[in-house]
Amino acid sequence: MKSMQRSNKLFSLGVVLAIYSVATLIGILIATYLYSDMGLLPTLLIVDVLATVIVFIGSVSFKNSSIYDPYWSVVPILLLAVLFYVFDYSLLEFSAQSILLWCVVFWGIRLTYNWAEGWKNLDHEDWRYSMLRKDNPKIAYFLDFSGIHMFPTLIVFLGLVPAFALFENGANDFGLIQFMGFLLFCIALFFETVGDNQLRAFKASNPPKGSLLTTGLWKYTRHPNYLGEMLFWWSIYLLSYHPDNPLWMIAGPVAITGLFVFISIPMMDKRMMERRSGYKEYRERTSALFPWPPKG
């Protein structure tokens, strides 16, 4: 592909849209064929996995694994839309299902827009992906497929399992636990939105090389956007809560929390320590996640 095309943002976003459209169309066709024989949950899982394979093929074809990045925020909307269609719910009814879907839609649109706003073009790839391939050249494709594409797909699907159960069991009561879930969603959205906007404004101000954002939410937490993302998945669990749900359904938000705490945050902190001279002091005085007055 010509370099000029790859560096064109509109063309690059068009490539991503085309890949996702193909994955969605194939997913719909496969779901229609499998649903009557396999049931809803296995069908959705198979379709989700196959769609991930299609996106992976697109990522390899265009040599950019960041093509997968919006999958995290787009697919939950599509999966819940399928549930609304299958179980014939109304978006205009006040129910746990409709509130859950509106929350996921709002979150998904915001997060996808934030990715599209920050992603420059097909020559712009998340540094973690290129680092992963550079450090493991012999198994680069395996790690790309399993770690960058399939693992996030499966962990997000696991996080949505309580929502699937909410639709299947038919209960639509919006009680105290669901209300707590909605409040948690609002808090999560606040941290993600404000944190991302403050970071975007900081970058747009053309700060001196090596500068750190240490104001606003970033004064009290080093990763407000990660905190918001973790809280969002806990809000999904609470919004979908039903007393008959098995305990293992909490595995979704637990796994996503573990992903951020034990993988994403350490990787980001390590990179910032290498690239920002004042990050060590910032790290020592600032909470990693939950907002807290800085030390000293």
Tell me, yes or no, whether 296 lies in a domain.
no
Tell me, yes or no, whether 141 lies in a domain.
yes
pLDDT tens, position by position, 255-295: 999 999 999 999 999 999 988 889 999 999 999 999 999 98
Does the pLDDT at position 113 exceed 80?
yes
Tell me, yes or no, whether 291 lies in a domain.
no
Tell me, yes or no, whether 295 lies in a domain.
no
Tell me, yes or no, whether 293 lies in a domain.
no
Tell me, yes or no, whether 176 lies in a domain.
yes
DSSP conformational letter for 207? P
pLDDT tens, position by position, 209-263: 889 999 999 999 999 999 999 999 999 999 999 888 999 999 999 999 999 999 9
- How far, CA to CA in Å, does 51 sit from each of 24, 70, 75, 150, 237? 7, 13, 9, 10, 24
Q: How many structural domains does the chain have?
A: 1
For residue 4, what pLDDT is reported?
A: 75
For residue 36, what pLDDT is reported?
A: 75
CA distance 121 to 114: 14
Does the pLDDT at position 2 exceed 70?
no
Does the pLDDT at position 169 exceed 90?
no
Tell me, yes or no, whether 294 lies in a domain.
no
CA distance 145 to 80: 25
**What range defines the domain where residue 149 resides?**
3-285
**Which of the pair, 195 or 244, is modelled with greater confidence?**
195
Tell me, yes or no, whether 233 lies in a domain.
yes
